[in-house]
Amino acid sequence: MIKTALYNKVKDYDFEALFKRKKYAFFTEGAYNLNIIGVRARGAQITNSFDDVIILIYKTPTGSWTRQIYQATTDPGRYYTMTPVQGKGTAILVPGQYRATYKIGVHRGKYKALCQCKPVKVYRDGNKNNVYDWNPDTIEKGQFGINIHKAGKISTRVDTWSAGCQVLANETDFKCFMNYCQKQINNGKGKYFTYTLLREEDL
């Protein structure tokens, strides 16, 4: 993980208090009951970089709290903002909490990832102006395949790795992430996963 300003902001941040203010669920019972949190970096300009973070916060079997922070993107890459999959525009996940919306599946028939299994909300950005548009009038709710998956071994540019998915930049980080997801299941905390997407401005 490259220790950016956003990394430094989230490494000790009190997400439990923020979730309480937002009336979001924050899981505290038992080991490996995962809080999976994405934080979208400030700014609408398309950087095409993995400048966001995905965080796991959970208790260990000894009862101590810990967190993992992964370099990621919560936005689509430049390729798909300029070449949308749909005529309405590329999908950008709307910030919010998506309860029990993910489960382990196979991403594009290739490898295990967290796959969307319930509806989510997305903005549609179709004007190809190199700026992410978060226009509430474009919001759609549905099954769009907004998965949580990986890019390459060590990726620095988003490019075609995301058409709206939440994507970890580093393959080793992703294997670690999926290992904790499996631990949640193995520890009896359920096969469904909640994902909460925040903006840096929320912190």
Residues 6+ apart with CB under 8 A from 51: 4, 6, 41, 73
Q: What is the pTM of this model?
A: 0.96
174-181 contacts, C-beta under 8 A, 24 or more apart:
174/70, 174/113, 174/149, 174/150, 176/68, 176/70, 177/54, 177/56, 177/68, 177/70, 177/148, 178/104, 178/112, 178/113, 178/114, 180/32, 180/34, 180/56, 180/58, 180/68, 181/34, 181/104, 181/114
The pLDDT value given to residue 1: 64
User: Per-residue confidence of the chain (203 residues) as pLDDT tens digits?
Assistant: 667 889 999 999 999 999 999 999 999 999 999 999 999 999 999 999 999 999 999 999 999 999 999 999 999 999 999 998 877 899 999 999 999 999 999 998 999 999 999 999 999 999 999 999 999 999 999 999 999 999 999 999 999 999 999 999 999 999 999 999 999 999 999 999 999 999 999 99
* Domain range annotation of the chain: 5-202
The pLDDT value given to residue 142: 97
Tokens 């998506």 map to which residue?
Answer: 98
DSSP secondary structure code for residue 162 in this structure: -
At 76-117, the pLDDT tens digits run: 999 999 998 877 899 999 999 999 999 999 998 999 999 999
The pLDDT value given to residue 85: 82
User: Using CA atoms, how far apart are residues 179 and 11, in angstroms rounded to an integer?
Assistant: 21
Please name which of 59, 51, 60, 61 lies closest in space to residue 10, comparing C-alpha atoms.
51
Is the dihedral angle over the CA atoms 108, 112, 113, 114 positive or is it negative?
Answer: positive
User: Using CA atoms, how far apart are residues 50 and 170, in angstroms rounded to an integer?
Assistant: 10
